[in-house]
Amino acid sequence: MSAFEADVKSSELKRVLGKWSLTAIGIGAIIGGGIFVLTGTGAYYHAGPALALSFVIAGIACVFAALCYSEFASILPVEGSAYAYAYGTVGEIFAWIIGWGLILEYAMGSMTVAVSWSGYFNKLLKMFGLHLPDYLTSDPASYTGEGFSMNLPAFFIVLFVISILIKGTKEAAKANNMIVIMKVSAVLFVIIAGVFFINTDNWSPFIPAPEMVKEGDTLKEAYGVQGIISGAAAIFFAYVGFDAVSTQAGEAINPKKDVPFAIIVSLLTCTLLYILVSLVLTGMMHYTDFNPQGKFPDAIKAPVAYAFEIAGQGWAGYIITIAATLGLISVLMVMIMGQSRIFLGMSKDGLIPKMFSDIHPVRKTPAKSLMLLGILIATIAAFTPISKLADMTSFGTLFAFTMVCVAVWILRKKEPNLPRNFRVPALPVIATLGILINVYLIWNLSHDAKLLSTGWLLLGVVIYFLYSIKNSKLHKKGLGETFKSEQEPLEDVDIDIDNKD
């Protein structure tokens, strides 16, 4: 563990994030796609009104993983999230596989949010009488016309967010904090105002009987108990926020205390909000009305706003659409920020090219990494359907959570006397439940998502043996040199666990 401490001290990142800024980062990432977008797809394609139970199941799965993340964060306050944790416990090859899965989680998550943002942005424009042509707001698979098409708003919002992140973490955190306050206010407004327009008939039956539903060109079974489980798997990407908190440990003022606090508080807060919003939404609007081939074809893209419009409260639709349009920007910001920090950790270990760990001398951000990420994420988001992106994100998230539950258990056995500011209670029980429920949710993802994601992991194994193992600092210099930086340690860095904000 002393090697990790040396890595923390030599970090060039600025420590500017306190526990409430970290909590805001978590809430900023969690509240977004799950409430503003996936509530519609989850209700229609999976669970109906019982979507609330899907959020309960997903939240329980997250609690197990969150507790394990918190113990790790109290021991290893470094950027890189689950990748760094696995590196110090189960070995480099497993750490690489987790890191590769996290790339899937964050990159696909960023793309999903960018496409979601585009849907709300287009709705906002229409509210003010402006219309973008379909070929500039649709990916090729969704475009019903002829000729070229791309999701131009999704492309440009990614580049806009990248420009903010390059300027500096402190500036990005300030912008995120303001957006989070506005976004939470909008969610509370939805819950409080929506209660007055609930039609309880829409909740009957609360768990609809299983039936086949057409998604694109594919028929799939929805509803019933199986629909609740598949719904939990499909909306799981919405919980990526607390994982994003752990990627910011390298910029936390007091990471050993503040990161566990932020992880748990952000998760519990947002899980409660998710459950309440899903109940309000399915009470205001019948779940079958989210059918993209039905009488409200655009409702599935912006479900919360449409629910209020259908209830005759168009003014509320304006508020929600504006809040969602701005709020999704903070989700995108946190996800891309987290992705770049995972790359930073992997690059420091030599597993990916050095450019990903280059820090801008003035702004103290991984500017090169952010620019490359921006181009890739923007391009793929512009040409890929949201359903494919969301399911692959869920796979990456669930895979990483599973491995963290395994790794924290191994570390407790290997190093039982390590100082831990936070300890998972009843670890064998918590870790086992976390592993089982995450694997079960992975099994219930769509066939295409499992196939594509497995292919992604296999590609990662090939890259590891062709490139990473040859350039690994662990293999080149030995374990004692793995985490040493080529730079002189920063004099002002203090990682003492008793440090206060």
Q: What is the mean pLDDT of the chain?
A: 79
Q: How far apart, in whole angstroms, are the C-alpha atoms of residue 165 and residue 35? A: 24
Do residues 227 and 47 lie in contact, with contact meaning Cβ atoms separated by under 8 Å?
A: yes
Distances (CA, A) of 378 to 72, 117, 153, 300: 32, 12, 10, 22
Distances (CA, A) of 128 to 121, 125, 310, 321, 368: 11, 5, 18, 12, 38
> pLDDT tens-digit profile of 328-371?
887 788 788 878 878 888 888 888 888 888 887 777 778 888 88
Residues 6+ apart with CB under 8 A from 373: 107, 162, 336, 339, 340, 343
Cβ-in-10-Å burial (0-12, 13-18, 19+) of 490 comes to: middle
Residue 4 has pLDDT above 60, yes or no: no
- Looking at the chain, how many residues does it have? 501
Residue 500 has pLDDT above 70, yes or no: no
Residue with tokens 């919002």: 157
> If we measure between CA atoms, which residue out of 239, 323, 310 comes closest to residue 281?
310
Distances (CA, A) of 74 to 48, 263, 339: 39, 11, 21
Residue 57 has pLDDT above 50, yes or no: yes
Residue 154 has pLDDT above 80, yes or no: yes
Residue 12 has pLDDT above 60, yes or no: no
Residue 486 has pLDDT above 60, yes or no: no
pLDDT at 13: 53
pLDDT at 169: 59
> If we measure between CA atoms, which residue out of 41, 108, 27 comes closest to residue 399?
108
Highest mean pLDDT among 9-18, 201-210, 326-335, 468-477: 201-210
Cβ-in-10-Å burial (0-12, 13-18, 19+) of 298 comes to: middle
Q: How far apart, in whole angstroms, are the C-alpha atoms of residue 28 and residue 396? A: 20
List, as own/partner pairs, every contact residues 427-435 make where C-beta atoms lie below 8 angstroms and the sequence separation is at least 24, other chains included.
430/64, 430/67, 430/68, 430/405, 431/64, 431/68, 431/405, 431/406, 432/405, 433/64, 434/61, 434/64, 434/65, 434/68, 434/401, 434/402, 434/405, 435/402, 435/405, 435/406
CA atoms within 13 A on the CB side of 330: 28
pLDDT at 3: 46
> pLDDT tens-digit profile of 230-285?
888 878 767 776 666 766 666 677 767 787 788 888 888 888 998 999 999 999 98
Domains for the chain: give ranges and CATH numbers: 18-481 (1.20.1740.10)
Q: How far apart are the first and last CA of the chain?
A: 24
Q: How far apart, in whole angstroms, are the C-alpha atoms of residue 343 and residue 203? A: 45
Structure tokens at 487: 């730079």
pLDDT at 288: 86
Residue 129 has pLDDT above 80, yes or no: yes
State the pLDDT confidence band at 108, using cuts at 50, 70 and 90.
confident
301 by DSSP, 3-state: which?
coil
Q: What are phi and psi of 380, to 5 degrees?
A: -65, -40
pLDDT at 249: 63
367 by DSSP, 3-state: which?
helix
Residue 488 has pLDDT above 50, yes or no: no
> pLDDT tens-digit profile of 173-187?
666 677 778 778 888
Q: What is the mean pLDDT of residues 462-484?
A: 71
pLDDT at 53: 94
Residue 7 has pLDDT above 70, yes or no: no
Residues 6+ apart with CB under 8 A from 110: 158, 332, 335, 336, 339, 377, 381
Alpha helices (runs of H) in 349-446, residue ranges in sequence order: 367-383, 386-414, 427-443
State the pLDDT confidence band at 192, using cuts at 50, 70 and 90.
very high
Structure tokens at 339: 């992705």
Residues 6+ apart with CB under 8 A from 284: 194, 197, 198, 199, 202, 307, 308, 310, 311
Do residues 272 and 95 lie in contact, with contact meaning Cβ atoms separated by under 8 Å?
A: no
Pick the residue with more confidence: 313 or 273? 273
Q: How far apart, in whole angstroms, are the C-alpha atoms of residue 430 and residue 271? A: 19
Share of the chain above pLDDT 90, in %: 10
Burial 136-149 (b: 16+ CB within 10 A, else e): bbbbeebbeeeeeb
Residue with tokens 């592993």: 435
Q: What is the mean pLDDT of residues 98-104?
A: 83
Residue 484 has pLDDT above 50, yes or no: no
Structure tokens at 301: 């893209």
Residues 6+ apart with CB under 8 A from 206: 48, 49, 50
